[in-house]
Amino acid sequence: MPEPIVEHVRRAPKVLLHDHLDGGLRPATILDLADEAGHELPYRDTEALRTWFEDSANSGSLERYLETFDHTVAVMQTQEQLRRVARECVLDLAEDGVVYAEVRYAPEQHLQRGLSLTQVVDAVRAGFTEGEQEAERAGNPIVVRQLLTAMRHQARSREIAELTVQYRDRGVVGFDIAGAEAGYPPTRHLDAFEYLQRENAHFTIHAGEAFGLPSIWQAIQWCGADRLGHGVRIIDDIKVGPDGAPRLGLLASYVRDKRIPLEMCPSSNVQTGAASSIEDHPIGLLTKLRFRVTVNTDNRLMSGTSMTREMSRLVEAFGYGVEDLRWFTINAMKSAFLPFDERLAIIDGTIKPAYAVLAAMS
């Protein structure tokens, strides 16, 4: 990879739409909080623990990948724990050059020690606010908002959807469902999605990661998703003909025509078997076909990644330059659940000027 591009990636402002709070903890923090919680970990050394998370997630199975969260969720069960994890998340993202992020988590998974759903959301909000203020003082301004997630194998989605609406003017910008896709279609939670639509609320749906086109079709046509979490299997509806020209099926055409954002997470997709390698990841063709592609981390701890690393891997695999990175970033900011004027302010006031400087240097 050309050295100037490496430096450009590091310095470029970044926008992150798909990042899990419980998938991005610092290993040292897990060790500290596990002692406090009396939770047993597989390793007691920071680096050994970091390696264990990455190796365990590197299995090619989404279900196995999700098992690693038993240990992170276990140390996020008090307001103090949640506040610390949220604050550190913001600081880590800001240090990586992220200027706007939507970080998701499932409030229902943080009730084991007696917290209420509202106490969970309030604690995360407090941590995000502290992190934003500290990052601002350090010269790394960032805006971070919450996405509240319901677990697709549980039955609390309507309750979490109502919580999303309750907090939409207090740091929460949208809703999501997550967890194993097979056997748990998004239509199981249709009541929640219909409620959100009536309330003019935003939501994304994990779809088209471990499961195929039916998952994407249901998320869009039955549930009305604003964005697709991953959506990588949309590639199954694109066939390359004998002449080398791609031919889009009806669903792929609809997704592209409607500019439905794809929250693509390349490293995570390779780990879970949704893609065989970064070089073969569908993001290459989808970008070439000008789908609304965005680049994301998914779970920074499990994938050993950051936005800088994700973008660097794409530069190396596909030869992307400054203009491509700018396109991904503006795609993401356009697709954010932040109000239009606030999105525009970040695009015009931060992203475009910074990329103009990088372009002049390249």
pLDDT of residue 63: 66
Rg (CA), the chain: 19
pLDDT of residue 6: 73
pLDDT of residue 245: 92
pLDDT of residue 1: 46
Segment 116-138, tens digit of pLDDT: 999 999 999 999 999 999 999 99
Active-site residue flag, 209? yes
pLDDT of residue 61: 62
Contact 90, 128 (CB under 8 A): yes
How far apart are alpha carbons 127 and 141 in whole angstroms?
15
Domains of the chain, by residue range, sit at 3-361
pLDDT by 10-residue block (mean), the chain, 362 residues? 70 97 98 93 94 86 76 97 98 98 98 98 98 98 98 95 97 94 86 98 92 92 97 96 93 98 96 91 98 98 97 96 97 98 98 95 84
pLDDT of residue 4: 66
pLDDT of residue 274: 85
Q: In CATH, what class is 3-361?
A: alpha beta
How far apart are alpha carbons 145 and 202 in whole angstroms?
13
* List 88, 108, 132, 209, catalytic entry: 209
